[in-house]
Chain A
Amino acid sequence: MEEVEVELLKLIENNANLEVEKIAKLMGKSIDETRELIDKLEKKKVILGYSTLIDWAKVLNEEEVTAMVDVKVTPARDVGFDKVAERIYRFPEVKAVYLMSGTYDLSVSVKGKTMMEIGHFISEKLSALDSVLSTTTHFVLKKYKHDGIILQDADEGDKRIVVSP
């Protein structure tokens, strides 16, 4: 990957709504060059989407529950864990799936409106899959930091005096 591509990715990693004009100025490139660079990264599927990180806990009636589920599975012949992982990640309730080393095989993050809803999904859908041997569910109680972003209301305002040497 070229250096300019990495620079661009770092710029938009935490600020997906940065306008092309600004990205171009920041990188000292023309708008056309920048747009081309973005297109290329999208085509290569390096840029997969532009999402917004929202602290739903702050939005009334929009609270949601997250569970991290440790899943033990029987791998299938030839395709190992991939097939069962696919069965699992296709469920819309499932937000992330990772193959793990250690005492279980897949780490699955599940989101729902309520604990009941998640419980339902796990017992009816996830555990019911043939290759799933067992599940252990951990509910997330509070989020402090997500994807590198601190979610607390820590005062991070500018503490500098307005004019200094």
Chain B
Amino acid sequence: MSQISYISKQVADLKPSGIRRFFDLAAQMEDVISLGVGEPDFVTPWNVIEQSFHSLEQGYTSYTENAGMMELRQEISKYLSGSYHLTYDPSDQLIVSVGASQAIDLALRAVIDPGDEVIVVEPSFVAYVPTVRLAGGIPVTVQTEAEDEFKLKPEQIEEAITSKTKAIILCNPNNPTGTLLLQEELEQLAIVIEKHNLLVLSDEIYAELTYDDAYTSFPTVPKMKERTILISGFSKAFAMTGWRLGYAAGPTEIIAAMVKIHQYTMMCAPTMAQHAALEAMKNGRQSVESMFESYKQRRNFIVSSLNEIGLQCPNPGGAFYAFPSIKATGLTSAEFAEQLLQEEQVAVVPGSVFGANGEGYIRCSYATSLKQLDEALNRMKRFVQKRM
């Protein structure tokens, strides 16, 4: 007997996240050391937590403005101008969202008509392709190469462009590769982007976590501000993943369209989280810096350890992921991750879940304590030695 399915075709066709499968597998095991998490191991700075208690005690328990508390938007605007000399009017060029995740979704839904193509640079954050699809768009993936340190080249955009291409999503620094695009490289990309009139979604959620080179925010590249939606949030730098707070800044018209969707679907971001974020913006600098310092040291540690055990790993310029090659073991990335989990109880994410060119690599998050990291690397060494 055939069963009627009420699920939309759009959703039915979405593949479940490859990460999810590993989560289910890992969840059944004990004493797993996880390098599979894409979030800080730090607890949100106490002054931020304390401020949200305080806001609740003061009775701030109702909705805020749709675009987010004005005071918070002003503070974000001040931050963007202080850090990158970017000026966005807090009254109509900024929206506070439920995580950078919702900002991505809003941006795509605000600009995409059915059939519009959006370029997604792979290996990529797992949400881009599905959110483009859910917005009715067609994701067109571009594969960056390991020999280019997974850096996107202007020719690659050029090749992917068709008459339907509307936008490109850039993630800098990148999840999962940790690759950081520098000023000159962004300027080269900007030439093609301008020539073809593309809109840019610039996901800069890891901007605070760049270790060796200066960070260039994409809208600061000449002529890019008017065609860029800058997306960021509090999850990574402030260790606030669970608070679900992010933001987008961009041209008035686009932000207005995003606010329109947001007001009917979400009303506003959670109020107590907005109060916490305000405190983070005002007094969170020192915590960001001390967490940054730890990430940088762990990056040095994991990269040299991975190379020592024979998993070739370039030095990632940002975020908190190492993306070593596992080709020398002769395993696929899914086999590697699965066997490593079964034999040594270490969870990593197979590179293939981030796109075709992620095959042959694994993503190891170093947002975990040095002690755990050290033990995980000992176990990986044992695992790799048996296979090489």
Contact status A26-B125, CB under 8 Å: no
Contact status B300-A25, CB under 8 Å: yes
Residue count of chain B within 8 Å CB distance of chain A: 31
B37-45, B151-159, B190-198 - the one binding chain A: B37-45
Q: Given A10-B293, A25-B301, A28-B300: A162 and B370 within 8 A (CB)?
A: no
Return the CB mask of B265-301 against A: 1 if under 8 Å, else 0.
0000000000000000000000000000100011011
With both beta carbons as reference points, the residue of chain A lying nearest to B369 in the complex is identified as A158
Contact status B125-A161, CB under 8 Å: no
Choose one: A26, A28, A162; the contact of B37 (CB below 8 Å). A162
Contact status A165-B22, CB under 8 Å: no
With both beta carbons as reference points, the residue of chain A lying nearest to B349 in the complex is identified as A163
With both beta carbons as reference points, the residue of chain B lying nearest to A160 in the complex is identified as B37
Return the CB mask of B175-203 against A: 1 if under 8 Å, else 0.
10000000000000000000000000000
Interface assignment of A53: CB less than 8 Å from any CB of chain B:
no
A161 to nearest B CB, angstroms? 6
B26-34, B65-73, B166-174 - the one binding chain A: B26-34
A18 to nearest B CB, angstroms? 8
Interface assignment of B17: CB less than 8 Å from any CB of chain A:
yes
Bound CA span A75–B56, Å: 52
Contact status A25-B293, CB under 8 Å: no
Bound CA span A11–B39, Å: 22
Bound CA span A26–B194, Å: 42
Chain A residues with Cβ under 8 A from B37's Cβ?
160-164
Q: How many A residues are at the interface, by size bracket? A: 10 to 19
Chain A residues with Cβ under 8 A from B22's Cβ?
163
Interface assignment of B111: CB less than 8 Å from any CB of chain A:
no
Q: Given A162-B23, A162-B26, A164-B39: A22 and B300 within 8 A (CB)?
A: no
With both beta carbons as reference points, the residue of chain A lying nearest to B372 in the complex is identified as A158
A9 to nearest B CB, angstroms? 12
Chain B residues with Cβ under 8 A from A162's Cβ?
23, 26-27, 32, 34, 36-37, 347
With both beta carbons as reference points, the residue of chain B lying nearest to A11 in the complex is identified as B297
Interface assignment of B11: CB less than 8 Å from any CB of chain A:
no
Return the CB mask of A1-22 against B: 1 if under 8 Å, else 0.
0000001001100000000001
Return the CB mask of B363-377 against A: 1 if under 8 Å, else 0.
000001010001000
Identify the A interface with B (CB < 8 A).
7, 10-11, 22, 25-28, 156, 158, 160-165
List 6 A-B residue pairs with CB atoms under 8 Å apart, sorted by A's residue number.
Answer: A26-B297, A26-B298, A158-B34, A160-B37, A161-B27, A164-B38
Other than A158-B34, A163-B34, give 4 A-B pairs with Cβ distance below 8 A: A28-B300, A160-B34, A162-B32, A162-B37
